[in-house]
């Protein structure tokens, strides 16, 4: 599933570049559609209900387990979000959008003023790649910008609980395996509820095993009790 998520993110990022040419670029320091610490129910409300979905959001995939939830979506063809929840609360958010270089500097300056300078800040010699990370008491924040073409950059923002991230992903995988009700749709490549009943396989397997046992029993019985010999025909 991790490879599927990565492929979807890369495809959606390419979509952002195409869409940005036709629309105004995102104000990255403006309001985010999702935020760290938000309730899962609040995030779900963004999409509307099944009968009347919110057309501003294109849901790329969604995975729900008893303890976790995860989805990827595109907002107005301009912003890509990857959001993860554990026990109903957001502990990981990633946001991507295309912005101009002047705005990239504004974003870095904003976080430097908010959290102070960080030793984990660097950029390439040609300024095509910029990166910074702040390690706070309860979470980490990472921002990066990568030049795409001309003066346009893909800006990526991540905010997450590093202590919970690995544990939540392990719980998600374990609950998916134990549920046995999720499979990958061969047409869309997205997770879906299983259309195949594992209990049916179990029943068939037990039936086959039972049949084999009966055949073995009959063969063993024949060895112990051979069939009676037929009387020789009377030729005289």
- Long-range CB contact pairs, 10-18, < 8 A, 24+: 12/60, 12/72, 12/74, 12/80, 12/96, 13/80, 13/96, 13/154, 15/74, 15/77, 16/74, 16/77, 16/78, 16/79, 16/80, 16/96, 16/97, 16/98, 16/154, 17/98, 17/148, 17/149, 17/152, 17/154
Position 137 scores a pLDDT of 94
Mean pLDDT of the chain: 80
Position 188 scores a pLDDT of 46
- What pLDDT digit, counting tens, does each position of 170-193 carry? 999 999 888 876 665 554 455 555
Position 144 scores a pLDDT of 97
Position 81 scores a pLDDT of 97
Position 75 scores a pLDDT of 96
Provide the pLDDT confidence category of residue 149 given band limits of 50, 70 and 90: confident
Position 20 scores a pLDDT of 46
Q: Is the pLDDT of residue 153 over 60?
A: yes
Q: Is the pLDDT of residue 162 over 80?
A: yes
Position 27 scores a pLDDT of 87
Under 8 Å between Cβ of 78 and 26: yes
- What pLDDT digit, counting tens, does each position of 75-133 carry? 999 999 999 999 999 999 999 999 998 899 999 999 999 999 999 999 999 989 999 99
Position 236 scores a pLDDT of 30
Prediction pTM value = 0.71
Position 179 scores a pLDDT of 81
Q: Is the pLDDT of residue 24 over 90?
A: no
């Amino acid at each position: 599933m991790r490879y599927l998520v990565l492929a979807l993110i890369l495809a959606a990022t390419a979509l952002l570049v195409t869409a940005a040419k036709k629309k105004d670029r995102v104000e990255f320091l403006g309001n985010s559609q999702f935020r760290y610490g938000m309730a899962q129910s609040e995030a779900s409300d963004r999409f509307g209900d099944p009968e009347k979905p919110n057309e501003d959001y294109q849901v790329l995939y969604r995975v729900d387990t008893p303890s976790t939830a995860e989805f990827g979506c595109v907002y107005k063809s301009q912003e890509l979000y990857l959001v993860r929840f554990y026990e109903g609360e957001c502990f990981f958010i990633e946001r991507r959008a295309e912005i101009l270089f002047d705005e990239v500097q504004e974003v870095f300056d904003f976080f430097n003023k908010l959290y102070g300078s960080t030793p984990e800040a660097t950029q390439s010699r040609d300024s095509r790649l910029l990166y910074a990370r702040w390690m706070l008491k309860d979470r980490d924040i990472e921002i990066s910008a990568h030049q795409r073409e001309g003066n346009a950059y893909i800006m990526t923002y991540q905010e997450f609980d590093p202590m919970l991230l690995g544990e939540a992903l392990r719980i998600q995988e374990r609950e998916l395996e134990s549920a046995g009700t999720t499979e990958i749709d061969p047409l869309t490549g997205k997770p879906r509820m299983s259309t195949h009943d594992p209990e049916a396989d179990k029943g068939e397997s037990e039936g086959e095993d039972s049949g084999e046992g009966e055949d073995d029993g009959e063969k063993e019985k024949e060895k112990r009790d051979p069939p009676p010999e037929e009387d020789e025909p009377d030729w005289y």
